[in-house]
Structure 1
């Protein structure tokens, strides 16, 4: 592994040099273990501790198959699916791996008693399998997390509709929170040259998800002038949605939970901000009963901030806690687009406000390759910036996942894998200098470590 790291850090190794590097027999990776899948049985979600379930251990290097690439991972990041994996919710990920194992002989590689998790990476291609022509050893890349077989006609209009679509590092093995990762070649995209490894690794999943959800015609199809309500606007998803709204000429209405998070949104350029904690919104009277008066109060507050207009789009991901309010406050003919349910999967809303006002609920899940590529292209051009607030070592991944689980973070948190320190991997120093303040925006505002 030292020879691989030396070649990457030198910045002078050629394709031939990388292709000639010997591969190790094993590598360090963050795993969950099948035998521990019931370790949190009986506990509430909030009481499950990723520091107890995530392990950093040596695992064998997987066999490289057709259409695949083995990547040296310089940095990765923690997404909420990493938290789900670590607390075995909504169910242990080993069921995904078992089904993949039944899919094909190559799929059997993924069905193991351990799961290497993680759905982001920035790194360098080491090897490519048969049939890979667009990528070569030595290419500096980031990866999006759509793993797709494309053997069904259903996936050829939109690969997210392929019946064999999976999220890499969550529904497949050999993910990005490791020193090496196995990906399909059509997951690879060029690493933005002005970013360090950890900065480049921060955007893939969340930026692509937000792009499809908000911008793409597969999502809300946002246009100039739209009012967009963004829940958790300083968080991993919301921070990219806020940037995409601003870059696209829309008006984000940012919902946050603290003055510090409100300041982050202002620093991004947002003006309409609701601090839901300071304003005391309580959308549920108890576990079974929502409070429509609070929906109306939120709607009134939105109109105060927009000059009397309701929102055209609601960027939804909290789920159960907020969904009733989201449906209510959307304008007639507007769109509620949802990609997650971090507060609960069973949503309740008053259907009268949906059908009688001709509103739409759109489900959005990650992004296809084209959408992920366009989202990455915006980052590479300096139009959208990483929202990295803190970086952890590979051995500290459990703490990183704990902090995300407890919402102790801003934006995204990164993990150094092979990279020995932060700040490495920058190639375009001129572009970086023009955007340095924006790149560091979330780092400056990061709260103390949890």
Structure 2
């Protein structure tokens, strides 16, 4: 039995605290991209780049544990769009992030390697903690948020996302969560929701915290009761949490989806106002260079038809180039367009007259600070927000999982099992789980 097998067996036996007495393996399996392959997709369109070719499961050395850090035995992880970007080497290869980080300090130099262990979500068990860590100990069952921050600059002490050395773990740092062991800063750790399986607990982290800041936090749209909220991709990994937050907060979500199946998922969540953009055949762009404002108007009219004449107080944006012009147009006078991504393209175009003359605001939102992440995880732990896991792959098939997300052939979140040998393990609070089982399984098989 290998050292990792012993660790896994202790966790599966419900004896997580026993890992403190077990040796940490010298190496582990992690999903990597390789620096010598960054040109492999040159000349291809983004849609034709295949993560199955660039993501590898490699045996890698266990990194040195530094002060304020923790090594975690990863039971499960999940796919985020940043893993897709990493795998297709867009907008730039992530090795540029690792090289920049490596120049920060001798300890940060560990991250500058010719391979990048990816992944920005995990659930698992703490194996070891570094000097100065007092909140967490070996054996603790945890999830991790993906904010990696130095906090040596004054800029981050009001909002850690404004720190000059803020990074996304597993994307702009190495040793991420799509692996059997991960290295995190101890202040990334949060308690694992006791009523969830390992794979369910791993899936909300990045997107749940992102949606919380973007929609609920004062740093984002500051949602209030009665707000009409237009949510693009409302059944997806990010939008599915935005839909839940809107409903929980007494707002009125208008869910934009691309199929009847995705519309039905939104109805399962409790949403009533739904636009199937494919059925309506919206074509916001006449060609590559010019948008069609008549389509914006038709879209706005559809929203008002559903809401009884009201325009959105908040537009929850993340597709970017394809939809941004319509989003700025559709928001009500004085409304807010809050954006956290650009999955259809970074170069946005919109008619500024609709912004300035109608006193609208565009708010940029990026992941979440530690407090926002903690609050988002607390809502999961209390059964007030639920994971949106639809499918889970083994670590060896991470490339296929990433391809699903790349091609939008998924609903909600796609999970990945690491040390967990099968789905359904890790539940500690069965009573709470039973109360919310239908909601927890709402996306399963979708």
CA shift, 1:12, in A, is 2.8
State the distance in 1 between where 2:371 and 2:27 align.
Answer: 33
Partner deviation per Cα, 1:305-358 (whole Å, 9 max, x = no partner) = 111100000000000000000000000000000000000000000000000000
Q: Conserved in 1, the CA contact under 8 Å of 2:129 and 2:137? A: yes
CA shift, 1:23, in A, is 1.0
State the distance in 2 between where 1:109 and 1:417 align.
Answer: 23
State the distance in 2 between where 1:5 and 1:325 align.
Answer: 50
In the alignment, what sits opposite 2:292? 291
Runs of 4+ in 1 over 3 A off after TM superposition: none
State the distance in 2 between where 1:4 and 1:248 align.
Answer: 41
State the distance in 1 between where 2:22 and 2:309 align.
Answer: 63
Query: Aligned to 2:92, what secondary structure does the other structure show?
Result: coil
Partner deviation per Cα, 1:199-234 (whole Å, 9 max, x = no partner) = 000000000000000000000000000000000000
Corresponding position: 1:5 with 2:11: no
Query: Aligned to 1:418, what secondary structure does the other structure show?
Result: coil
In the alignment, what sits opposite 2:241? 240
Query: Aligned to 2:387, what secondary structure does the other structure show?
Result: coil
TM-score in terms of structure 2 length: 0.99
State the distance in 2 between where 1:273 and 1:27 align.
Answer: 45
State the distance in 1 between where 2:393 and 2:421 align.
Answer: 11
In the alignment, what sits opposite 1:397? 398
Aligned counterparts, 1:162-181, within 5 A:
162-181=163-182
Partner deviation per Cα, 1:39-70 (whole Å, 9 max, x = no partner) = 10111100000000000010000000000000
Tell me the number of residue pairs that the alignment of Structure 1 and Structure 2 aligns. Answer: 443
Corresponding position: 1:275 with 2:276: yes
State the distance in 2 between where 1:311 and 1:404 align.
Answer: 28
Corresponding position: 1:125 with 2:126: yes
Aligned counterparts, 1:75-94, within 5 A:
75-94=76-95
State the distance in 1 between where 2:14 and 2:52 align.
Answer: 35
In the alignment, what sits opposite 1:312? 313
State the distance in 1 between where 2:403 and 2:304 align.
Answer: 37
TM-score in terms of structure 1 length: 0.98
In the alignment, what sits opposite 1:40? 41
In the alignment, what sits opposite 1:264? 265
In the alignment, what sits opposite 1:252? 253
Corresponding position: 1:152 with 2:153: yes
In the alignment, what sits opposite 2:303? 302
CA RMSD in angstroms comes to 0.5
State the distance in 2 between where 1:262 and 1:172 align.
Answer: 36
State the distance in 1 between where 2:129 and 2:184 align.
Answer: 10
State the distance in 2 between where 1:285 and 1:122 align.
Answer: 45
CA shift, 1:20, in A, is 1.2
State the distance in 2 between where 1:46 and 1:13 align.
Answer: 42
CA shift, 1:13, in A, is 4.2
Query: Aligned to 1:441, what secondary structure does the other structure show?
Result: coil
State the distance in 1 between where 2:98 and 2:283 align.
Answer: 39
State the distance in 2 between where 1:46 and 1:88 align.
Answer: 12
State the distance in 2 between where 1:23 and 1:329 align.
Answer: 54
